Copies of this chain bind each other. A is one copy, B any other.
């Protein structure tokens, strides 16, 4: 297929993976980046054009350029942070996925309704009145784990809550277990959920804390922080895979009931903790490509089971768009 369509995204998060995947599928590729990041992205041969901008608020002016070509915009985890939820909704260039999901993702109450309606366990949530310690406190819209805090008791909670700038936050039970981030892809064209890959986040300083002798952690006044700076790969015990797949399918089915008939489209991630009784507790859902998929530019153990070629999530998105174009069904996968 001669492919005259352009895939475009913003310069951050998983842009390299998205555009590498787009190029592998034969698309023209465009990146919109802040001026100080533009040169960095120009290193990569699979990016056909880098459009520099001074501020993300200049994005609407770029949109006009994008419309000169047939372009599909692929959003990632920085789109809401950079353009705002309303900014995303205003985009007129075809946008991969279903924008109605944005409202359900942003509001932690709606997220919980969605996840629980999919029969997936979540850590209990508290108000300041009924709080049971230990807890982890998460501000709304916090990006990359920054602004989260741990509190083991009331005193600690009261001290830390003062330093939080956001007036909106949730108080979750701290579930003891190990973290596991499951990356899915839902194709409405073939009506199938695929497990693309699995990662574990690498968070500073909490993932370095265990290297400090316990008798000194307190005197060193080390307080755990959860700022995500990287990812490492995982595979899951095979006996847990049927439930991992089934959770993904239930999330998609629920999204069609709760959000609209199209529901969630494309990549999403369940961010879980697995407890010693081998139960998954979902802390959050991310309704787009997550940064953990950047580990799998050349495929993951799971994608290699399904594909006889390297298949990242970024490439899977491009393939879905290509397939939609071929079938004259682009509207099925964009908004």
Contacts and interface: CB of A to CB of B under 8 A. Distances in A.
Interface stretch (A94-102, A216-224, A253-261): A216-224
- Which interface class (under 10, 10 to 19, 20 to 34, 35 or more) fits A? 35 or more
A273 interface: yes
B213 A152 contact: yes
A313 interface: no
A212 B144 CA distance: 19
A229 B178 contact: yes
Interface stretch (A109-117, A157-165, A291-299, A317-325): A291-299
B238 A15 contact: yes
Contacts of A215: 152, 214, 217-218
A236 interface: yes
A294 B301 CA distance: 7
A274 B13 CA distance: 18
Contacts of A189: none
A208 B176 contact: yes
A138 to B, nearest CB: 15
Interface string A18-51: 0010000000000000001100100111100000
A238 B304 contact: no
A219 B218 CA distance: 14
A205 B217 contact: no
A179 interface: yes
